[in-house]
């Protein structure tokens, strides 16, 4: 009986945490949409011989994605290197 009530409590706790995560995602997406609509002005960027004019929200999104990809790659590389050094 005790195991059943403990399992029911855990199930309710998991459902509550999922609703919380859903609420956080909804707030984050709403903030992104507001940011995108408030930052539609174009900005010019240049790097070496390359140049572009983009909306600010798009530029921030591109920088975020490039940072996430490079950070994730660096993390994976360091993790693999650390795992390899432990085996040796």
User: Domain ranges in the chain?
Assistant: 1-38, 42-88
Question: What is the model's pLDDT at position 22?
Answer: 94
pLDDT in tens, 26-48: 999 899 889 888 888 899 989 89
> 44 with 52: CB under 8 angstroms?
yes
Beta bridge partners of 53: 44
Residue 57, pLDDT > 70, answer yes
Angle value at C-alpha 11, between 9 and 17, nearest 5 degrees: 105
């Amino acid at each position: 009986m005790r195991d059943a009530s403990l399992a029911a409590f855990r199930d309710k706790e998991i459902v509550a945490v999922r609703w919380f995560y859903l609420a956080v995602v909804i707030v984050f997406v709403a903030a992104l949409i507001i940011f995108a609509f408030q930052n539609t002005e174009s900005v010019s960027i240049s790097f070496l011989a390359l140049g572009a004019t983009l909306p600010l929200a798009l530029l921030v999104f591109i920088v975020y994605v490039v940072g996430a990809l490079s950070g994730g790659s660096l993390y994976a590389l360091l993790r693999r290197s650390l795992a390899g050094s432990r085996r040796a």
